[in-house]
Amino acid sequence: MDDSGKPSPSWFERLLNRFTHEPEDREELIAQLHAAFERNLMDADALAMIEGVLNVSEQTVRDVMVPRSQMDVVRVDDPVEQFLPFVMDTAHSRFPVIDDDKDDIVGILLAKDLLRYFHNPKLFDLRDTLRQAVFVPESKPLNVLLKDFKSTRNHMAIVVDEYGSVSGLVTIEDVIEQIVGDIEDEYDFDEAEDNIVPIRGRRYRVKAQTEIEDINAFFGTDFSDDDADTLGGLVLTAMAHMPKRGEKVALGPLDITILRADSRRLHTLVVAPRRDKGDDDSSEQDA
């Protein structure tokens, strides 16, 4: 309370008091928001979220979807024991299930539903386990999609183009991240875990913020830290753009695949030291 005994105004009320006149366009509104931030009427997180909300109202599904080429799918006729290692490696919670190709999606598999297989493998039927797939057009506004996700309780939708062909997929997380930034999920490491974690096939899941000094010590490389401090910085320098999940780049003796990234920064990479020509690579499996 102030000296008069009246309750102190909230940060939102103080923010509104800063607007001496209504903004005439989006640019003026953003300018006023930044002015409020500079006067400590809101913190950086609040400013970023408000800008995110404004951006979502102008974006479409096409802007945030996972492209068709990067979709991780399961084939409906494959035995569970065949695709189970793939499910474990990719660590998604949901998978589109296809028949002949990615245009023929027969449903969505929830990874947790595979527990039924372990309970009774002989009676497990993948087709009976699938959830119905939801299809949305590329042009659907993100704010409308978010409302649909909330009302239907779906977390994934298959994106189709104007001809009805599958062009990608979108999740509720893809939309929310446009507002609040990256959300920790099944791709992310626990902060207490190591930055470099071995996975199958002589590959390693590595945090993008791992320092170059640690990369050199672990992989026996000699990358310079003159232009970048982290592995993610090296990747961005080499690719010269913000890559999406599934993109690959070669750095010295390392083959690197982007596992987790958003529109702002890299999060997780898969690093595979390149084998010598004499090595037997018959046991290596792709992600």
Tens of pLDDT, residue by residue over 79-113, are 999 999 888 888 789 999 999 899 999 999 999 99
Q: How many domains does the chain have?
A: 3
pLDDT at 8 over 70: no
pLDDT in tens, 154-174: 899 999 998 899 999 999 988
Instruction: Say if residue 54 is in the same domain as residue 108.
Output: no
Residue 168 CA: distances (Å) to CA of 97, 160, 187: 13, 7, 19
State the average pLDDT for the chain. Answer: 82
Instruction: Say if residue 79 is in the same domain as residue 165.
Output: yes
Query: Which pLDDT score, from 0 to 100, does residue 39 have?
Result: 77
Domain assignment present for 282: no
pLDDT in tens, 261-277: 766 678 888 899 987 65
Domain assignment present for 188: no
Q: Which one of 180, 205, 223 terminates a domain? A: 180
Instruction: Say if residue 229 is in the same domain as residue 214.
Output: yes
Q: What is the rounded distance in angstroms from the CA atom of residue 218 to the CA atom of residue 129? A: 43
Instruction: Say if residue 74 is in the same domain as residue 163.
Output: yes
CB 235 within 8 Å of CB 243: yes
Q: Sheet containing 66-67: which strands, arranged edge to edge?
A: 66-67, 166-171, 156-160, 135-137
Q: What is the mean pLDDT of residues 45-61?
A: 82
Cβ partners under 8 Å of residue 192, min gap 6 = none
Instruction: Say if residue 116 is in the same domain as residue 147.
Output: yes
pLDDT at 128 over 50: yes
pLDDT in tens, 175-233: 888 887 665 554 454 444 578 988 766 889 899 989 999 999 999 999 998 888 899 99
Query: Which pLDDT score, from 0 to 100, does residue 202 have?
Result: 82
* CATH number, residue 67: 3.10.580.10
Instruction: Say if residue 73 is in the same domain as residue 96.
Output: yes
Q: What is the rounded distance in angstroms from the CA atom of residue 245 to the CA atom of residue 268? A: 9
More confident residue, 183 or 50: 50
pLDDT at 115 over 70: yes
Structural domain harbouring 226: 196-273
Domain assignment present for 10: no
Instruction: Say if residue 228 is in the same domain as residue 148.
Output: no
* CATH number, residue 240: 3.30.465.10
